[in-house]
A and B are shown apart, each in its own frame.
Chain A
Amino acid sequence: GAGVSQSPSNKVTEKGKDVELRCDPISGHTALYWYRQRLGQGLEFLIYFQGNSAPDKSGLPSDRFSAERTGESVSTLTIQRTQQEDSAVYLCASSLKGNQPQHFGDGTRLSIL
């Protein structure tokens, strides 16, 4: 497709389970970002990938959160031992390179019961 694709679009899981969220960036985009938006709150930066450089993980809220990216393609965000406060919409964005306009996916709505 032409845009950033995220899956699943919705995920409901029990507290304590691990979840994995997927992002397919726009082809050719070297920069990829993960953000989180809690209900009624603003967006929060989580992690940034740029090409083969070490990712900027400064926004990850705890060591239960991790992310990987294969080359300049798919990225997965993993949350281990989920907590109720992890409930949010997780958004992925990509850009041609760093410091360029970002193209956002539709997000994954994560609900922790």
Chain B
Amino acid sequence: KNEVEQSPQNLTAQEGEFITINCSYSVGISALHWLQQHPGGGIVSLFMLSSGKKKHGRLIATINIQEKHSSLHITASHPRDSAVYICAVRPFWYSGGGADGLTFGKGTHLIIQP
């Protein structure tokens, strides 16, 4: 069974701080997604990656396939970054190719205080 674990579950930080959210998973994957869920419920896809590192603005996502671990970093955090950040993986089942539904972590609830 694929497990996706995120840490921390909750994080409160001051504006300007460097933020790191971690994600570990237990099976081989073909892709890992980082999603952002705003307080109103809308979900936005931030990154999809299968190796290395991606950067978009103040957000950086890294993945280590061998260690089955990914991190999401936010530089110069701002109150508008306050949201739930969700890690999700697309398992790769060797017997049958790709299973296309994502398996989600429980999310990290981030609050950035001004």
Contact = CB atoms under 8 A, between A and B. Distances in A.
Interface string B24-43: 00000011010100000111
A65 interface: no
A106 B98 CA distance: 27
Interface residues of B, number: 23
A interface secondary structure, majority:
strand
A10 to B, nearest CB: 11
B73 interface: no
Interface size class of A (residues with CB under 8 A): 20 to 34
B45 A104 contact: yes
Given A33-B101, A106-B42, A101 B33 contact: yes
Interface string B1-35: 00000000000000000000000000000110101
A45 B45 contact: no
5 contacts: A33-B102, A45-B103, A45-B104, A50-B100, A101-B33
Interface of B: 30-31, 33, 35, 41-45, 48, 86, 88, 90, 98-107
